[in-house]
Amino acid sequence: MKIKSVKVKNFRGFGENPSTDDRMYHFDNLDSNLTLISGNNGYGKTSFFEAIEWALTDNIARVKKFNDVYHANTLQNKNTLKFISPNSNCDINRQVVVIIVFSDGVEICRKSNKDFIQITDRSDYNSTVTYKYKGNEITKEEFAKFKYPAFETDSFLKNHFLMQEDVSAFFKTTKPEHRREQIMELLDIDH
């Protein structure tokens, strides 16, 4: 099972895409053997990964860490769920939507109308999640029967995505002569 595509709308760094009919940003062909997400600082790489995490877990661990470790729950840009453009008249009531489609035909869609994720002290946070299989809606119990082993551990995202902080730590703490071997092993390439 691999993530095949991700669609994002109004989530953190992503607003609405004026180039698509559904106003969502589409990330397709993610089930390739190697997928590289690159871009300049502030262009949505972290928001992309956090969108996946939020859709799967209803949480964003990095933001929760800011709250738990640094007690930064007053830093609104850290716990903001919905993209609000300061340069336009955005509808504050519009919906945050993240859809993940897996290579086996399963789809997860999480939505919320709220501005902040649940770690803030706002008690009115909520989101809804729906599941589909090959276009037909299924229940949470039916979804659970698919038994994705990767979802059964708290380390799902840490094991499957190289986050920016992890890559920085890798380059700061690893000797140059060992980096190539570790990267080749990570990518499962014979060297």
- Alpha carbon of 93 to those of 75, 85, 112, 161, 174: distances in Å? 21, 13, 10, 31, 46
The predicted model scores a pTM of 0.73
Judged by average pLDDT, the poorest of 53-57, 131-135, 153-157 is 153-157
Chain segment 120-145, per-residue pLDDT in tens: 555 577 889 999 999 999 998 888 88
Chain segment 65-90, per-residue pLDDT in tens: 655 554 544 444 555 677 666 665 66
Q: Could you give the domains of the chain?
A: 3-150 (3.40.50), 161-191 (no CATH)
Q: Directed axis angle between helix 164-173 and helix 176-186, to 10°?
A: 140
Q: How many residues does the chain have?
A: 191
Rounded to 5 degrees, φ, ψ at 185 are -65, -40
Instruction: Quickly tell me which residue has 């035909």 as its tokens.
Output: 105
- Alpha helices by DSSP H, 28-137: 45-57, 61-70, 76-79
Tokens read off for 94: 């519009």
* Vertex 117 angle, CA 115 and 118, to 5°: 130
